Structure 1
Amino acid sequence: MSMNKRNFVAAGMGLAGLWTATGSSHAATQAKAPSGPTLLTISGAITQSNRGALDATIDQMMGKHGIQFDKAYALDAAALARMPAVTIKPTLEYDSKPHTLKGPLLTTVLAAAGVSAGSPVQLGLRAVDGYNVNISMADAQAYRMIVATHIDGQPMALGGLGPQWAVYDADVLPAFKDKPVKERFGLCPWGLYHIEVKKA
């Protein structure tokens, strides 16, 4: 499915669920909770967490998307900015021009939640509009997928491709480089806000 043909099911919901509360009644289990609004939540087969279970009142978007967890790892913009960044320059389907994307490797982001790069897991990547894809950790690593936070030197905005985009440099990957540009990014949800780590 082309990324520009996704239906925005989240538009009528409001955005309250995107900024997950970190000060809920659930105590942080291991790591320090973020001090800013949560932009990305990782749940499932993780060994590090900094928030408790999904809160049906506060986590409205996640609830409407059918996400459930008893613990999770929440990241704010500052946490993502502290991670080593990688820069890629893929040709995007929206204007067929190369754009500079920057952000940490997906494997680096997952490591914060205690998921090692070699783990035999599947990753459910979910966007704010409900678009959801599954990719193996092995493929995410082989494709050097990043969690892009910047495009062409600017932070990616909510309402655009951000605040995060799980993406790879399709121009250089044998699995994608010979496909039409509109068919290269089906595994790359923009508006990424949740990752579910599932044991394979």
Structure 2
Amino acid sequence: MTNTVISRVAFAVATFLPVMGFSAELDAPAGPVLLTVSGAIENSNTANGDAAFDREMLQALGAETIETTTIWTEGMQSFEGVSLQVLMDAVGATGSIMKATAINDYSVEIPAEDWVENGPIVAYSNNGEEMSVRDKGPLWVVYPYDSSPNYQTEVIYSRSIWQLDRITVE
């Protein structure tokens, strides 16, 4: 094999194994921590066994975009963030429910059935801009509301927590 092929294989392994849940440790955040995941997880990066993420770490997990309307905003919105499924895979979540908690301690429960491909994301930008605390940021769990009537229910709307800063997997 050429050095280029070997480099590409090494890059692919380093990039995708942590996302697939095979990494025992995550890199430490270099910037301000936006999200801490704790509880029933296998992969951590803190002394107490939590997984702490800064913006760059969340972005490195792979960005997904959801184009949708919401009941809280006007007109079509474009949200970018990490898939809830990918995030839970990255931390090696072993539980069946997550307790998502906002900066003001408001919390909701999101079952593992929602951690699916083409499901909700932990959005870190809205219409190409970082979200401030005043604008429901810095993180907001957003479902693809317009993609299915199943995502247009009071239960789903109640799980769409904004100002998210911590998740406990149970």
Using the size of structure 2 for normalisation, the TM-score is 0.77
Aligned partners of 1:120 and 1:138 also within 8 Å: no
Task: State the shift of 1:32 in Å.
Answer: 2.9
> 106, 109, 129: which one pairs with 2:84?
106
What residue identity is the alignment partner of 1:150?
A: S
> 48, 54, 59: which one pairs with 2:43?
48
| C-alpha separation in 1, matches of 2:156 and 2:113 | 18
SS for the counterpart of 2:110 is strand
Runs of 4+ that moved beyond 4 A: none
* % identical aligned pairs: 31
Unaligned runs of 5+ in 1: 1-28, 54-70
Aligned partners of 1:89 and 1:99 also within 8 Å: yes
What residue identity is the alignment partner of 2:169?
A: V
SS for the counterpart of 1:148 is strand
1:188 lines up with 2:163 in the alignment: no
C-alpha root-mean-square deviation of aligned residues, in Å?
2.1
Match of 1:137 in 2: 112
Task: State the shift of 1:120 in Å.
Answer: 5.4
Give the stretch that moved more between structures: 30-39 or 188-197: 30-39
Deviations 1:89-127 (A, max 9, x none): 221223442211111101111222122xxx551011111
Aligned partners of 2:88 and 2:115 also within 8 Å: no
Question: Which structure shows the bigger proportion of residues in strand conformation?
Answer: 2
Change (3 A) 1:176 1:114: closer
| C-alpha separation in 2, matches of 1:187 and 1:142 | 17
Unaligned runs of 5+ in 2: 1-23
Change (3 A) 1:173 1:140: farther
> 173, 192, 198: which one pairs with 2:148?
173
Task: State the shift of 1:159 in Å.
Answer: 2.5
What is the number of equivalent residue pairs in this alignment? 147
Question: Which structure shows the bigger proportion of residues in helix conformation?
Answer: 2
1:155 lines up with 2:130 in the alignment: yes
Match of 2:69 in 1: 91
What residue identity is the alignment partner of 2:164?
A: L
